[in-house]
Structure 1
């Protein structure tokens, strides 16, 4: 996979704005530098719904506002959910820009004028001697893709780099699945498939 670097969140906001201005329809997948996932559903340029950390609407927007840097992937083949959050694009962008300004220590008008280079986020080192073989990585990624779609590739890559044990990795990835029942199915299926005892 072509490893995409993290961008400062105010740059991500600008990317989302551009997709809205282009009247695009599809799903924006975001993965933050601390391995949090969000989905932003676009319908002809309108932000129909936000999903972040198992939350929707205003709660999801609040969680999304805490991201400092992220990776973005847009997929037009994944259309929006039928429900809408009722938040306007203007409200969403104002909230995100204010949060981005507070997190970076500058005002939102400065952020809008210039995008300074952000320092790379520190990466946690995996435990000495622990590594995941390619076959196990493929099994884990395939299992997660069933529940969160193509963004699983990015999410897994980030967690694989920081994993200290296989059971912990599965638990962390299960936390990225918004639906609790689906998260439990993912966890149980992988523990069984990889023969990890309870």
Structure 2
């Protein structure tokens, strides 16, 4: 994945690839508008969709708003509830249609989305530190100082702070918690 945000069409291509490989795991997406999305796949079938405080088919409909983002795939069972969804191929077709409408002009220009303004706001920093405290305790305030000072954008900061959490599962939970608090 490039340093900047990539077009949603490229993320949808990755979802299709994961489905075709019949993997189990969750793709976490952070949009360029600081919203979060999740696509959980179980043995190649999409079983859970989340976007900006909505789940299921409502989340699928709203995912059409995504223009660009970053993503991470966490392999293994997500432990999320199954929701009533259309068949995986129908979901993929809907996502591909939305992505082709959103990014048609940008794809002709090379596939990279426009850069988002760099730097972190004080409210973002506060949320990041508060969330990290929940996972590693008060030492989070000290550990986060350098990371937050050096981070050029929100996703870089989230990744750096998640790296301070020893458990990969808890690091994924940290990412989800931060994105949910910042998207609200």
Q: What range is the shorter-chain TM-score in? A: 0.5 to 0.7
* Cα distance in 2 for residues equivalent to 1:77 and 1:145: 21
* Cα distance in 2 for residues equivalent to 1:38 and 1:56: 9
* Cα distance in 2 for residues equivalent to 1:68 and 1:80: 28
- Aligned with residue 112 of structure 2, among 109, 118, 127: 118
Q: Aligned-residue CA RMSD in angstroms?
A: 3.8
Runs of 4+ residues over 3 Å off in structure 1 = 124-127, 130-133, 143-146, 158-161
* Cα distance in 1 for residues equivalent to 2:83 and 2:68: 26
TM-score of the superposition, structure 2-length normalised? 0.64
- Matching residue of 1:21: 20
Contact 2:25/2:77 (8 A) holds in 1: yes
Contact 2:42/2:77 (8 A) holds in 1: no
TM-superposed CA distance for 1:50, in Å, is 0.2
Pair 104,172 (structure 1): closer, same or farther in 2 beyond 3 Å:
closer
TM-score of the superposition, structure 1-length normalised? 0.60
Pair 131,86 (structure 1): closer, same or farther in 2 beyond 3 Å:
closer
- Matching residue of 1:56: 55
Contact 1:48/1:80 (8 A) holds in 2: no
Contact 2:5/2:113 (8 A) holds in 1: no
Structure 1: tracts of 5 or more residues without a match: 147-153, 162-170, 178-198
TM-superposed CA distance for 1:31, in Å, is 0.5
Structure 2: tracts of 5 or more residues without a match: 137-150, 159-177
Q: Deviations for 1:10-34, whole angstroms, at most 9, x for unmatched residues?
A: 1100111111111111111000111
- Matching residue of 2:7: 8
Structure number with bigger Rg: 1
- Matching residue of 1:157: 154
* Cα distance in 2 for residues equivalent to 1:65 and 1:22: 24
Larger relative contact order, structure 1 or 2 (CA cutoff 8 Å, min sep 6):
2
Q: Deviations for 1:64-87, whole angstroms, at most 9, x for unmatched residues?
A: 121111111111145242323222
Q: Deviations for 1:31-69, whole angstroms, at most 9, x for unmatched residues?
A: 011111011111101000101111111110112121111
- Aligned with residue 142 of structure 1, among 107, 132, 141: 132
Pair 172,80 (structure 1): closer, same or farther in 2 beyond 3 Å:
closer
Pair 141,157 (structure 1): closer, same or farther in 2 beyond 3 Å:
farther
